Amino acid sequence: MKNCQILSGFFNFLKITNSLCKKMSSPAPKSPEQSVKSKKYDRQLRLWGDHGQKNLENAKICLINATALGTEILKSLVLPGIGLFTIVDGEKICEEDIGSNFFLEVDTLGSSRAQIATQCLLELNPDVRGDYIDETPEHVMSHTQDFFNNFTVVIATALSEKTLIPLSKLLWEANIPLIVCRSIGFLGYIRLQVKEHTVIESHPDSENPDLRLGQPWDALKEHLDQIDVPNLDKKTRSHTPALVILYYFLKKYREEHNGLLPKTRLEKLEIKKMIEESIPSDEHGLNLLEENYKEAIHYVNTAVTPLKIPSNIQEILEDESCVNLTQNSNPFWIMCAALRELVQTDGALPLRGSLPDMASDTNSYVALQQIYQKQAQVHAEIVYRRADQIARNLGLGQDAIIENDVKLFCKHAAELHVMRTSCIADEYEKTNVDLSSYLEDSDSLMFYYIMFRGLERFISEFNAYPGQFDDQVEPDVLKLKGILSKLLNEWGCSHALRDERVHEVCRYGGAELHSVSAVLGGCAAHEVIKLITHQYKPLNNTFICDVISSNTATFCL
Amino acid sequence: MSETVESSQKRWGHLRKVLERPGPFCHPEFEPSSEILDFIMTSCKILIIGAGGLGCELLKDLALMGFKQIHVIDMDTIDLSNLNRQFLFRHKDIGSAKAEVAAEFINKRVAGCYVTPHFCKIQDYDEEFYRQFHIVVCGLDSIVARRWINGMLVAMLQYENGVLDQSSVIPMVDGGTEGFKGNARVILPGMSACVECTLDLYPPQVTYPLCTIANTPRLPEHCIEYVKVITWPKENPFNTALDGDDPQHIGWIYEKSMERALHFNIPGVTYRLVQGVVKNIIPAVASTNAIIAGICATEVFKIATSCCVPMNNYMVFNDVDGIYSYTYEAEKKENCLVCSQIPQELPIKDPSLMKLKEIISLLCESVIYQMKSPGITTTIGGKNKTLYISAIKSIEEKTKDNLNKTLTELGLKDGSEIMVADVTSPTTLVIKLKFMNNDVEMN
Ligand SMILES: [Zn+2]
C-alpha cells in the first residue's frame, strides 16, 4: 500500500471495473469439471504435476521383505497412487512383527507376512493394485527367470549379502533401479543403485532468470530500442519494466566502452551507479529511487551475463549416450542430441521464456512477456524439428518424439540431470576401498556405513544379529569388532571404529524401532517417487541416518 | 491381562532391547529396566495436537513405540484431498471428525492402545487440561496454533524465587512440513528456545499490494487475488462469505479471474491455481510427512525413556535434491516475549505523534510480535480502559475512534502499561511504554 500514490484514483478505477464486470458477467467461461482423482491428489499434483502422476500410476514396484521398514516404504507409495506393487516375502508373522509393523493385524500371527501386508496396504488406496509371493527372494530368483525384470523399481529390506549381490547384478544389467534399506535401533541405511537415470525437471530451489539483455534477439531489440527512457514522463517512467530501463543504460554503457558488456564487479558497479544517478533529486534534494529502478539495478547481476553453457549441461551434451545415438537411445538422449546442435550454432541454451514479476503497468509487462515466450517457442520448434529428424534417421517411429515433451525439455534445459551410480555388487566385491578421507573426522557418519557392512557380514557368518540374544551381547561385541577390523584391513584402512559405536549396535540386537523405520521408509519412498517421475534429483548413492544425534549424511560410493 | 505382563510380551521385544540394556549414548540418568516400558504403557500421557498429515503418522508411530495413553486433538473434518497422505482415513470417512476416526483406527489396529480423541480447538481447553500430559507433540500447519500452545506451556511453568521448578516443564516436540521440506524440534519450555524465541524462522506470507492487483496486474495470481478481495465482497454472489471448500464459490472466482486475465492478456489462470491462491494451499506429500513425524516420535520416545539423548534442538530437512538435513541448537532469546522473565518495553519516539493504529500495525508487522488482530487495554488512573478490540463487534464500534488518537490524547504516560491480547497467545502480553521524547512527558 505504501507505494500506491493515488488512492482516490484506485477507487475511481474500482467503479469502472465493477461496471465492466457487470456487463461482462453474463456469458462467463465455465469452470472445468474436476475429477475425483485430481481432488484426491491435489496436494501432491502441485509438486510433480499431472505428468508426474501419470508416471506414478504406470509404475510397478516390487518390495522384498515386508518388514516394518518395508511396509512403511510401500505405504508412502500406495498413498500417492502407484499403479501396482508386489511383495516377495517368505516369512511367517511373528510377535515382534506385530509389535513393530503397522500393516499387520493382531490376529494374524503365523500367517504369511506377504499376504497380510498386501491386504492391509491395499486398504489405503483403491486406485492401487497389489499382489504377493509368499516365497523367499532366493527362491523366486532361482525359480522364476526374469521375475524382477518386470518392475519399475525394486526395493529390498533385510536382505542378506549373499542374495543382494546377485540381485544387484541382475537389476544392473536390466537397468532397473534398486533401493536397499536397513533399519536397526536408532540407525538407518539406504543405498540406491541405478545404471542411468535422467531428469528433465530438477525443480531447483532457486535459479537465475534467463533474460539475455546483453544478447537481445531481433524482436526484443526492436521492442526495447523504441522506448526512449530519458524522455518518458514521470508517471510512464515509473511504470516501465526494469528490463527496459536496464537495457537503455546498458546501451549507453556499451557506447562508452567500445561495445563491451560490464563483466567485473567494478564495471557492474559503474552501470548501477549510472542508473541510480539518472533520476533527478526532488525538491527536498532527495533521490528516491522508484521500485522499477531498484529492480533494474538488481538485475544488472543476472540479466547481463555472457552466454555460457553451464558445465554440468555441457557434460551431458558431450556424454557418450548423446554423441553416439543408436536405435535404443531413449527420447531424452535424442532431445539432448538435438539440443547439442542448437547449442553448437547459437552458443546458448534455448530461451526459457519466462519472465519474473517486476514493477510495471500491465501492458508493458505483457508485451515483454510475449516477446520472451515467442522466442522460446522458436527455439523449442528448432529443437523439436531436429529431434524428430534424428529419430527418423535412426529408423524410429513417427511418434518417437512428442512436441510437448520437447517444449518441456527446452524450458528446463538448464536443469537437466543425468545420474549413474556404481553397482552394489562391485562395491561389495571391491577390495581397494579408500575411505580414509572420510575417516579423518571421528564424528563422520561414514563409520556407520562401515558398521552396516560389518553387521551384514556378522549376519552371514552367524545367522543372527549381533546382540540378538540377551546373554550374548558382550561376546558379540568382540565378534563384531573382529569382523570390523578384518573389513577395514581388507580395505587397507588404518582407522578403528570407536568402541562405543560397536557397543551401541550390539545393544540393539537387531531391534527395529518403528519410528526410526518410519523415518527411513519416508526417505526411501521419496527417492522411489523421484525415480518413477523422473523429477527432482535422487540420492547419489548411500545415505546414513543417525537418529541418535539427529544427523544424516550422503556418500557417493 | 495386566499391563506388567503386557510390557514383558515378546511383541515388544524390539523396544525392550533398547530399554533394558545400557548403552553409550543414553541420557546420564538412564537406568535400563523393564519398568521403563511399563511406565510408557501405563502412566506416560502424550498429547498429539493435530490429526492431519503429521498427526496420523504420529499416532501410528507412538502407538508402536509402546505409548498407550495418547490424546489427540483436532477441530477439522476429513476432506477428499486429505486421503493422499492421511492414511488412517478412507473415502467413507469424508466429513467425519479427524480426531475421532484416527483414534478409532489406531485403537482397533494396535491392541491395548487407548487413544482419546478431542474434536475441538486447542483454545477450548485450559491449563487444567494441558497439565495432565507428560509430553506434547505438535503436527500443525498453523503457526498461530503452534504459538498458542507454546504460550500455554510456558504459562504453566512455575518459578520459585526466580528459579524454574523443573517438574512444571512439559516438553514440546514440534514438526512441520511444506512440500519436500520440513523441520522438527524439541522445546523444553523455560529451558531451551521456544517457538517465540525463533519467530523469525517463519517466512512472512506472500501478499500482493492492493494497488498492483487493482491497477497493474501482471501475474495470474494478481487476477485471482483481485476477484477474491475486491469483486467477491462487491458482488456478493451467493450472499455469504467466501468458502474455499465450496466448489461453486471456487468456480465463480475461477470464471471471474479468467475474465480479468483475458481482459489484461495475462496467461496462466488455472482452476488449480485459483484453488491454491484462494485457500492458500500448502503442497503436501506422504513421504516427507512420514519422515518428520518419525523424527518427532523418536524424540518423544527418547524424552520419555532417556534411552538416548534427545535432539539438541532444531532440525531442518529437505529432500528436493538428494536428502539433506541440518541439526543445530536454536538459542533461547534472552528477552523473548513469551519465555523470558524480562518485562517487555516498547520505545515510543513521540507520543504526541504516535497514533494507536500505528502501535497496532507495529504489533502485526514487526518480526518479533507478528500478531494477527491485537486487542489493547490499559489502566488509567487506577481504572481499566479498553483502547481497542476488533474481535467483538460492539466493542470495535465503541473503540474504533481511538485508532486515530495519539498516545498523549489517550492519556498514556511514560511507563504506562498496555495489555495486549491476540490469537497467537493464550495469555495477555504486558508491554511498558517508554517515551523517548521527555519534553512531552514534562509538559
Ligand atoms: Zn522464548
> Bridge partners of B346?
B433
Chain B: closest CA distance from residue A391 (Å): 31
Give the least confident one: A163-177, A456-470, B180-194, B369-383: B369-383
Please, what sign has the CA dihedral across residues A64, A67, A71, A73? negative
User: CB–CB of A504 and B287 under 8 A?
Assistant: no
| C-alpha of residue B170 to centroid of ligand 1, in Å | 14
* A-chain residues near B24 (CB < 8 A): 500-501, 503-504
Given a contact cutoff of 8 angstroms between Cβ atoms, the answer to whether A528 and A181 are in contact is no
Chain B: closest CA distance from residue A85 (Å): 17
CA distances, A213 to each of A207, A251, A262, A353, B211 (Å): 17, 10, 12, 13, 28
First and final CA of chain B: distance in angstroms?
79
- Whether chain B has a CB inside 8 Å of the CB on A13: the answer is yes
User: Of B211, B308, B336, B364, which one is the catalytic site residue?
Assistant: B211
How would residue A286 be classed by pLDDT, with cut points 50, 70 and 90? low
pLDDT value at A304 more than 90: no
State what percent of residues in chain B have pLDDT above 70: 97
DSSP structural state of residue A183: E
Give the pLDDT confidence of A522-533 residue by residue, as tens digits: 999 999 999 999
* B-chain residues near A40 (CB < 8 A): 80-81, 83-84
Q: Residue A284 has what pLDDT? A: 67
User: CB–CB of B209 and A96 under 8 A?
Assistant: no
Give the pLDDT confidence of B92-123 residue by residue, as tens digits: 999 999 999 999 999 999 999 999 999 999 99
User: CB–CB of B109 and A362 under 8 A?
Assistant: no
pLDDT value at A24 more than 60: no
User: CB–CB of B87 and A124 under 8 A?
Assistant: yes
**Chain A contacts in chain B segment 188-207 (CB below 8 A):** none
Q: Residue A121 has what pLDDT? A: 98
pLDDT value at A396 more than 80: yes
Q: Dig out the grid coordinates for B435 from the structure.
A: 517515551
| C-alpha of residue B331 to centroid of ligand 1, in Å | 9
Give the least confident one: A206-220, A270-284, A384-398, B172-186: A270-284
Of B252, B276, B256, residue with least CA distance to B264: B256
* B-chain residues near A18 (CB < 8 A): 231, 234
In the CATH scheme, what is the code of domain A40-195+514-555? 3.40.50.720
Q: Residue A4 has what pLDDT? A: 39
Mean pLDDT value across residues A176-188: 98
Given a contact cutoff of 8 angstroms between Cβ atoms, the answer to whether A530 and B285 are in contact is no
Residues of chain B by 3-state class (helix, strand, coil), percent to 5: 40, 20, 40
| Residue of chain B nearest A467, judged by CA positions | B17
The identity of residue A237, as a single letter, is R
- Whether chain A has a CB inside 8 Å of the CB on B314: the answer is no
pLDDT value at A93 more than 80: yes
Give the pLDDT confidence of B141-181 residue by residue, as tens digits: 889 999 999 999 999 999 999 899 999 999 999 999 999 99
Q: Residue A397 has what pLDDT? A: 84
**Residue ranges covered by each domain of chain A:** 40-195+514-555, 218-303, 311-418, 428-508
pLDDT value at A465 more than 90: yes
- Whether chain B has a CB inside 8 Å of the CB on A366: the answer is yes
DSSP structural state of residue B9: S
Please give the ipTM for the structure prediction: 0.94
* B-chain residues near A503 (CB < 8 A): 23-24
User: CB–CB of B283 and A500 under 8 A?
Assistant: no
Chain A: closest CA distance from residue B346 (Å): 24
Of B268, B267, B269, residue with least CA distance to B250: B269
User: CB–CB of A504 and B275 under 8 A?
Assistant: no
Give the pLDDT confidence of A193-242 residue by residue, as tens digits: 999 999 999 999 888 899 999 999 999 999 999 999 999 998 999 999 99
Q: Residue A491 has what pLDDT? A: 87
pLDDT value at A187 more than 70: yes
| Residue of chain B nearest A553, judged by CA positions | B324
Mean pLDDT value across residues B241-256: 94
Annotation says B211 is catalytic: yes
Give the helix/strand (H/E) hosting A514.
helix A514-533
Q: Residue B1 has what pLDDT? A: 44
Q: Residue A436 has what pLDDT? A: 81
User: CB–CB of A523 and B323 under 8 A?
Assistant: yes
**Chain B contacts in chain A segment 278-317 (CB below 8 A):** none
3-state secondary structure at position A490:
helix
* A-chain residues near B184 (CB < 8 A): 550
User: CB–CB of A522 and B311 under 8 A?
Assistant: no
Q: Residue A9 has what pLDDT? A: 35
Query: Which of A47, A72, A527 lies nearest to residue B285, judging by beta carbons?
Result: A47
**Chain A contacts in chain B segment 123-152 (CB below 8 A):** none
First and final CA of chain A: distance in angstroms?
54
Give the pLDDT confidence of B274-283 residue by residue, as tens digits: 999 999 999 9
Cα–Cα distance for residue pair A415/B14, rounded to 1 Å = 44
Give the pLDDT confidence of A360-376 residue by residue, as tens digits: 999 999 999 999 999 99
Chain A: closest CA distance from residue B160 (Å): 33
User: CB–CB of A4 and B230 under 8 A?
Assistant: no
**Chain B contacts in chain A segment 390-409 (CB below 8 A):** none
How would residue A29 be classed by pLDDT, with cut points 50, 70 and 90? low
Give the pLDDT confidence of A468-498 residue by residue, as tens digits: 999 999 999 999 999 999 999 888 887 778 8
How would residue A266 be classed by pLDDT, with cut points 50, 70 and 90? very high
Give the pLDDT confidence of A5-22 residue by residue, as tens digits: 333 333 333 333 333 343
Chain A: closest CA distance from residue B207 (Å): 11
Q: Residue B62 has what pLDDT? A: 98
Class of residue B167 by CB neighbours under 10 A (exposed 0-12, middle 13-18, buried 19+) = exposed
How would residue B5 be classed by pLDDT, with cut points 50, 70 and 90? low
Backbone angles phi, psi at A553, to 5 degrees: -150, 150
Per the prediction, chain B carries an average pLDDT of: 93
Pairing mode of beta strands A187-193, A178-184: antiparallel
How would residue A285 be classed by pLDDT, with cut points 50, 70 and 90? low
- Whether chain A has a CB inside 8 Å of the CB on B307: the answer is no
Given a contact cutoff of 8 angstroms between Cβ atoms, the answer to whether B264 and B223 are in contact is yes
Per the prediction, chain A carries an average pLDDT of: 91
Torsion, CA A513, CA A516, CA A521, CA A524, rounded to 10? -130
